[in-house]
Amino acid sequence: WVLDASMGEDHCQIYQNHAAENWSLLRKLSLNMLRSESSKGSIPMKQKRAWMKPEYLEEVLRAGFTSLLEI
């Protein structure tokens, strides 16, 4: 539900070969990175902030990759 509400997954019209699975994986990865970032706010607000501020995007990527390394 979160992927559809925040990233519009149901509206995606990519059906060729394995592209849908690839995009699904990228969406899930980005959602987990946004969730691992410590600031408060909704996922769409964090997406917008990461789009507008490169410094915040670096924080999200750093938090996401750090959480991946802990696994």
Task: Dump pLDDT digits (tens) for 6-61.
Answer: 665 555 666 677 777 777 788 888 888 888 988 888 888 898 899 899 999 999 99
C-alpha–C-alpha distance, residues 63 and 37, integer Å: 5
- Could you identify the residue written with the tokens 């997406």? 47
Judged against a pLDDT cut of 60, whether residue 1 lies above it is answered with no
Full domain range(s) for residue 23: 2-69
Nearest to 60 by CA among 70, 48, 24: 48
Judged against a pLDDT cut of 80, whether residue 66 lies above it is answered with yes
Q: How confident is the model at residue 62 (pLDDT cuts 50, 70, 90)?
A: very high
DSSP 42: -
Report if pTM > 0.75. no
Quote the pLDDT of residue 47.
86
C-alpha–C-alpha distance, residues 55 and 14, integer Å: 31
